[in-house]
């Protein structure tokens, strides 16, 4: 069985956007849409983006998250099915 998080990684750090009071949802969705086949989105945020799990899960994405620091959560998203 292959690891769905082994593909080419596209990184997106939304902490500066959130610090400036901006909503990163559209930027995140654009990054997801531009992922190559088998690609992985590495999202860095100041908190765990729990609502995003449902949105991207509905599009067939799995996630794996870990806290890298007190204000830094890294989440990897990878499409594992053709949902959505």
Q: Residues 57, 17, 23, CA angle at the centre, nearest 5°?
A: 50
- Dist CA 45 CA 75 (whole Å): 8
Q: What is the pLDDT of residue 5?
A: 77
CA neighbor of 38 nearest in space, from 74, 76, 11, 6 = 6
Residue found under tokens 């729990």: 50
Cα 57 → chain centroid: 11
Instruction: Encode the chain (84 residues) as per-residue pLDDT tens digits.
Output: 467 778 899 999 999 999 999 999 999 999 999 999 889 999 999 999 999 999 999 999 999 999 999 999 999 999 988 765
Exposure string over 38-48, b if 16+ CB within 10 A, otherwise e: ebbbebebeee
């Amino acid at each position: 069985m292959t690891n769905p998080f082994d593909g080419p990684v596209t990184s997106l750090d939304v902490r500066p956007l959130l610090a400036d009071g901006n909503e990163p949802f559209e930027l995140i969705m654009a990054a997801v849409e531009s992922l190559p086949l088998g690609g992985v989105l590495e999202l860095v945020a100041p908190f765990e983006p729990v609502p995003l799990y449902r949105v991207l899960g509905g599009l067939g994405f799995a996630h794996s998250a870990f806290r890298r620091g007190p204000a830094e959560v890294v989440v990897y998203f990878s499409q594992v099915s053709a949902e959505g």
